[in-house]
Structure 1
Amino acid sequence: MILLNDISQTVLIILSIGLLISTLEYLKKVQIFSPNGLLSWNVMQLKWTKQNEKSFFKPLFKLFSAPGLAALFIIRCLLIIGLLFFPLQSTTGWVLISLLGVSLLMASLVTYYGSDGSDQMSMLIIITLILCNLPAFTTGKLRDIGIWFIGLQACLSYTVAGIAKLVSAEWRSGTAIKDVFSTKTYGSKKASLLLQKYPSANRFLCWNVIVMETIFPLCLILPWQYAIVFLIWGFIFHFFTALIMGLNSFFWAFMATYPAIYFINHQMPWHLF
């Protein structure tokens, strides 16, 4: 029997590894939040203070300086480490993950220009775990709903991404991946040259991503020995995306949803028959 507590804890542990890595990355480059930095609050605050300089966020301005955010990131690291020692279903564990969620929300006020789909997925998972594991008020049914929500959201994300690629001429023509690898931000000179040399490989990779992302929800209803192919594909896809493009946050955010997909797949026969 698959235990909901174990699935929830596994989701949290995998996600926490990714959050710890991304938080340490922010600590390493914390000067980007300095007054002259790329994510200076002098600029970021304009989103919140266009009409009124005395906005709700005014008391928090000092926190969004480089030293203030460094302190916030250090606290976040301590919260993540603490979650390794306290189960999610315990009162202490729930308080720790709630504080972790607060730290993510606060930091998002100044990092919104650099956020991506992995940040949204991470925040969604954190909020779901908080709401579905409230001590003394949470039932097994509510935890069940939370796990289903995480797994279904992952499948929806893949399918939407696949359909978006399907309607793109660049992806259908088989040039998109080569073009991405040719960029400065997410590119790789070696990978770009390799795909230029073998255009058929580029077409195969493009259509491989389109097809697998679009039909990814099949992993929920197929027998496990076939469904696992989708999860292996997802692992390889995100691993090489992280390796070549540097998008390691996507790897951990989506790997954290795979235990939920595993749970749904093993529950599905009870709903179909």
Structure 2
Amino acid sequence: MILFNDISQTVLLILSVGLLISTLEYLKKVQIFSPNGLLSWNVMQLKWTKHDQRSFLKPFFKLFSASGLTVLFSIRCLLIIGLFFFPLQSPIGWALISLLGASLLISSLATYYGSDGSDQMSMLIIITLIVCNLPVLASSKLREIGLWFIALQACLSYAVAGIAKLVSAEWRSGTAIKDVFSTKTYGSKKATGFLKKYPVANRFLCWNVIIMESIFPLCLFLPWEFALIFLIWGFIFHFFTAVIMGLNSFFWAFMATYPAIYFVNHQMSWHLF
């Protein structure tokens, strides 16, 4: 029998590893938030109106300095470490994840230009776990709904990404991956050289990603032996994306959804097979 608590805890632990890594990365490069830094609050606050700056943002002004964010990121590390010792369903565990969610929301005001889909997925998972494990409302049915929501959101993300690539001429022609690897930010000279030498490999990789992302939701309905193929593909895809492009946050954010997908697949199997 699959236990809701075990699956939810596994989702949280996998996500926590990724959040700890990304938070330590922020601490290492915290000077980008200094007045002369790339993400200086002097620049970041221009996104907001003067009324917003004077009202709800004003209390955070000092916090969004390099020193203030150093404190916030350090506290976040302690919260994440605490989650490895206190179960999500315990009052302390729920308080820790709630504070973690609050820290993510606050820091997002100063880091929105550097955020990506993995940050959105992480925040979505955190909020879902907080709501579905609220001590006064928590029930097995609510936790089940939370796991379904996480699994469906992951499958939706893959399918939307796959369809978006399908309508892209660069992806259909089989040049997109090589073009991405040729960039300075996400590039790799070795990978670019290989794909230039073997254009067939580039086309294969492009269509492999298009097809697998587009049909990824099938993993919810197929027998587990076949659904596992999609999860193995996803693991390999995100692993090499992290190694080659440096997008390690995507690896942990999406791996955290896989226990929920496993849970939903087995629930579907009980009804279909």
- Fold shared, TM-score > 0.5 on shorter chain: yes
Distance 1:151 1:53, change over 3 A: closer
Contact 1:49–1:55 (CA under 8 A) maintained in structure 2: no
Higher mean C-alpha deviation, range 180-189 or range 39-48: 39-48
CA drift at 1:154: 0.2
Counterpart of 1:130 in structure 2 is 130
The question of 1:81 aligning with 2:85 is answered: no
Indicate conservation of the 8 Å contact 1:188/1:245, yes or no: yes
Question: Which whole-Å CA distance do the structure 1 matches of 2:216 and 2:15 have between them?
Answer: 21
Q: 2:6 is aligned with what amino acid?
A: D
Figure out how many residues of one structure are paired with residues of the other and give that number.
273
- Equivalent residue letter for 1:120: Q
Deviation string for 1:91-132 (max 9, x for gaps)? 000000000000000000000001000000000000000000
Q: Residue type matched to 1:73 in 2?
A: F
The change in CA–CA distance for 1:220 and 1:77 in structure 2 (over 3 A counts) is same
* Structure 1 letter corresponding to 2:79: L
1:148 is matched with 148
Q: 3-state DSSP class of the match of 2:135?
A: coil
Letter in 1 for 2:35: P
Which position in structure 1 is the counterpart of 2:68? 68
Q: Is contact 1:80-1:100 (8 Å) kept? A: yes
Q: Aligned to 1:218, what secondary structure does the other structure show?
A: helix
Identity of aligned residues (%): 83
Structure 2 equivalent of residue 105 of structure 1: 105
**Aligned 1:224-263 pairs, distance under 5 A:** 224-263=224-263
Aligned: 1:183 with 2:180? no
1:190-201 equivalences in 2 (<5 Å): 190-201=190-201
Q: Name the CA distance, whole Å, in 2 between partners of 1:272 and 1:63.
A: 52
1:40 and 2:40 aligned: yes
Partner SS for 1:135 = coil
What is the distance in 1 between the residues matched to 2:5 and 2:263?
11
| Structure 1, gaps ≥5 residues long | none
Q: Is the 8 A contact 1:48 1:55 kept in 2?
A: no
TM-score (norm 2): 0.98
Q: Report the AA paired with residue 256 of structure 1.
A: A
- Name 1:165's counterpart in structure 2: 165
Cα pair 2:172 2:207 within 8 Å, conserved: yes
| Paired amino acid for 1:23 | T
1:207 and 1:53 map into 2 onto residues whose CA distance is: 46
CA contact (8 A) 2:165 2:210 kept: yes
**Cα distance in 1 between the residues matched to 2:139 and 2:271:** 20
Letter in 1 for 2:175: T
Amino acid at match of 1:90: S
Give the whole-Å Cα distance in 2 for the aligned partners of 1:269 and 1:85. 33
In structure 2, runs of 5+ residues without a counterpart are: none
Kindly state the Cα deviation for residue 51 of structure 1 after the two structures are TM-superposed: 4.8
Is this contact kept in 2: 1:64–1:110, CA < 8 A?
A: yes
Paired AA for residue 64 in structure 2:
F
Code of the residue aligned with 2:136 in structure 1: it is A
**What is the TM-score normalised by the length of structure 1?**
0.98
Deviation, 1:46, is 1.2
Map 1:114-129 → 2, pairs under 5 A: 114-129=114-129
Alpha carbon RMSD of aligned pairs, Å? 1.0
Structure 1 residue 48: deviation in Å?
A: 2.0
Counterpart position of 2:203: 203
Q: 2:11·2:256 contact (CA, 8 Å) conserved in 1?
A: yes
1:191 & 1:233 partners in 2: Cα distance?
Answer: 19
Runs of 4+ in structure 1 over 3 Å off: 49-53, 270-273
Paired residues of 1:9 and 1:88 also in contact (CA < 8 A) = yes
Offset of 1:50 from its aligned partner? 3.9
| AA of the residue aligned to 1:236 | I
Is the 8 Å Cα contact of residues 161 and 213 (structure 1) preserved in structure 2? yes
One-letter amino acid of the structure 1 residue matched with residue 232 of structure 2: I
What CA distance in whole angstroms lies between the structure 1 residues aligned with 2:52 and 2:257?
Answer: 40
Q: Please say if 1:214 is aligned against 2:214.
A: yes
